[in-house]
Amino acid sequence: MDRVTNLNDSTHNFSTPFCWELAQELLSTYGSPLYVYEGDRLRQTIERITKAVSYPRTQFRFASVTNGNIALLKIFRSSGWGLHANTPGDIYLGLKAGFDPSEIVYSGSNLNWAEMLQVLDWGVKTLNFDSIAQLQLCCEVFLDHAKARRRKDKDVNLRLGLRVNLPETGDSRIGVRPEEFADAIALAGEVGLKLGGLHFYRGTGTNATTAFTQVIDTVLATAQKLPDWEFLDFGGGFGYPYHHGGAAFDWELFGAELTDRITRLGREIDLVIEPGRAAIAGCATLLAQVVSVKWQAEKQIIGVDTTVANLSVPSVHGGYREIVCWKKTDKIYTTDICGNTTYSRDYLGKNCQLPALEVGDIIAILDVGAYGYAMSSHFLHRPKPAEVLLENGTHRLIRQREDYSVLLTNQVLDN
């Protein structure tokens, strides 16, 4: 059973970073290191993004590649969002969280036959393909799937789309070029299906709003090359400002411009928006404790009880997270925060400006909701931390802390 602790009678501040008393209570209750999610903050972000796009036929789908915790997926579901899946695993978790297959959009790459069959068996109806080969595989599996179930109508409720590769997306491996559309349309038509959707993916973690708004007209013109066009899936790739005070994606501007351009078309289409990192990054903090302090001249070297393996790789987040603590002093030092492995690049933060710390102090690594736990690993054989949700004045465990037995999972041991 989940452990639930009431916080209503305390003086805890639920903004990030947490007050020291709350951080101490959480680590005392659940251990360190610890991922902490703020449910109220997550709901506020979901609400803001939802209101930013006023086009009436808009469907929001959370990109669960960024975070697959069931408790968090349920928050998106209760907020009226569906799910965007990059892999069959995303779909599996979404179904376990209570999403109906009709609320899930698949837009992934390089499925094999068994995986494509599984996606169809789960009842997912909307699929965007990033290559002609994947579309062909879907058509073949679709026919076989229909024969196996002896269905004459061949389940024509499938909604198929193409992930488009445009010059505006740069050097990307993902997507189908417009000049390939005719072949794709013919291929789908051979099995009685239509290509009714276009999926535009700008690229991961883009904070420049103009990178999206300046291509709206091009994307809409490209979509109209599909004779049966009925839905636009406009990504995908919205960023989050890890450098607080830096450039941030302007949802209100984006929503206004996209709504205006689609409304001008004079035809009804469905619009799908797939925020991932932008929705969930800011609601989570990784708490850790100081286990070692040493000095190299005026530089402070802090060792903590977590590792870079519990943060996303630099190619995904740019190698920066804000790190804070609760000591009040005017004296600060250039500080490196080092993980609990001997890996030479195990830095959670370099050249941070922090006060002198002591063994037992708590630090908070901010904005780890996206690609934090989702990209954590057992590198150097460290078990993964627990996850906790703060919501409605309580905190509760939403994922157990691993122990060393996880390192033996699926290993075949000699007797």
Kindly report, residue by residue over 61-102, the tens digit of the pLDDT.
Answer: 999 999 999 999 999 999 999 999 999 999 999 999 999 999
Direct distance between the N- and C-terminal alpha carbons of the chain, in angstroms, rounded to an integer: 35
pLDDT band at 4 (very low <50, low <70, confident <90, very high): very low
The letter for the amino acid at 6 is N
The pTM of this model reads 0.92
Kindly report, residue by residue over 297-349, the tens digit of the pLDDT.
Answer: 999 999 999 998 898 766 555 668 899 999 888 899 999 999 998 888 889 99
> Which of 82, 42, 89, 50 lies closest to 68 in space, CA to CA?
89
Peptide bond before residue 236 is cis, with ω within 30 degrees of 0: yes
3-state DSSP assignment of residue 160? strand
User: Domains (ranges, CATH) in the chain?
Assistant: 4-38+281-399 (2.40.37.10), 39-280 (3.20.20.10)
Give the residue carrying structure tokens 């830096």.
246
Kindly report, residue by residue over 149-170, the tens digit of the pLDDT.
Answer: 655 444 558 999 999 998 866 6
